A = this chain, B = another copy of it.
Amino acid sequence: MSISLYTATVPVLTQMLLALSDVLKKGEEYAQQRKCDPNALLQSRLFPDMLALVRQVQIACDFAKSVPSRIAGIEVAAYEDTEQSFAELQQRIAKTLELINTFTAAQLEGTTIKEVVLRPGTPKEKKLSVEDYALKYGMPQFFFHITTTYNLLRHNGVEIGKKDFMGSY
């Protein structure tokens, strides 16, 4: 059974970003209901030198847009990391969803890209086949930041469950 790099990425990224959006809505509602500063959630961390929730969402979006872009061999759209509110994070997710849904199955299946270079020109430069880049690097990184966002909200008492994390599959 053959699948395409499109099937392994774009629909999965879409599912998980929609779920992330819903999970963040529940986080925002929780802050409103408890009349607490939304920043208590947005700037929360699981440990002082881990990234705060806002950065987790930004980076999740970054991997979501990088994966199909790099498979297709087109420049990855740059987003400024200026989001400070739940509403702005929702906009970033919406913008990312819009972008990744411009990719067609034919476009990713027909890619001529064979290799992706991570951190080019640095001492940590690493070359990966496009499959390894997508499956062993990009998607695991994406899932890391999606799950950590969920865990941050859960740790702070937001009433969400695995069903919310998974979204519609």
Contact = CB atoms under 8 A, between A and B. Distances in A.
A19 to B, nearest CB: 9
Interface in A27-80: 46-47, 50, 71
A163 to B, nearest CB: 10
Contacts of A143: 140, 143-144, 147
A98 interface: no
A140 B8 CA distance: 12
Nearest to A136: B169
Contacts of A135: 3, 7-8, 11-12
Contact of A1 (B5, B50, B136): B5
A65 to B, nearest CB: 19
The range of chain A's interface size is 35 or more
Given A15-B136, A46-B151, A3 B1 contact: no
Interface in A137-157: 137, 139-141, 143-144, 147-148, 150-151, 154-155, 157
Interface string A115-150: 000000000000010111001110111011001101
Given A50-B154, A148-B151, A140 B3 contact: no
A108 interface: yes
Contacts of A110: 1
B1 A4 contact: yes
Contacts of A2: 2-4, 109
A16 interface: yes
8 contacts: A1-B4, A8-B135, A46-B151, A47-B154, A47-B157, A143-B144, A147-B148, A148-B151
